[in-house]
Amino acid sequence: MVNPNIKKLAKLTAHGVNVDPDVASFVLGKLGRRELLAYLRHLKAINNRRTVRVLSQEPISEVQKRNIIKRFSDKEVLFVQEKIGDGIKIQINDTIIDYSMHSYIDTTINRLKE
């Protein structure tokens, strides 16, 4: 199977939330190692494009969650508690928006130096 077909297969697989058992059986049984890696890479990229991760050390209030979900209404929003310090970080695909206290202090110091 050539790479464009693997990409199409990943798009079809990612259409739903869960992978159909028949598709999983086909993928695991028919694809070689290199093709399977390409398939998983495409599947991960598709998932990253439609998911927003919100990282916070402390629990986020329901009001803040609703506002964030409203802002990213076209994507699935995952709230993750992780040790990042005060504030939040929002990860959209490969982009990270950093609203942490550490980032704020660094930005302020750099502006004062200019």
Region of residue 87 (phi > 0: left; psi between -120 and 50: alpha; otherwise: beta) = left
Residue 55 sits at the vertex; the CA angle it makes with 54 and 58, to the nearest 5 degrees, is: 120
Mean pLDDT throughout 81-105?
A: 84
User: In this model, does residue 4 exceed pLDDT 90?
Assistant: no
How much is the pLDDT for 15?
Answer: 67
Q: What is the pLDDT of residue 16?
A: 61
Reported confidence tier of residue 100, pLDDT bands at 50, 70, 90? confident
The string of pLDDT tens digits covering residues 20-54 is 777 778 777 888 888 888 888 888 888 778 889 89
pLDDT beyond 90 at 63: yes
- 3-state SS of 16-58 is CCCCCHHHHHHHHHHCCHHHHHHHHHHHHHHHHHCEEEEEECC
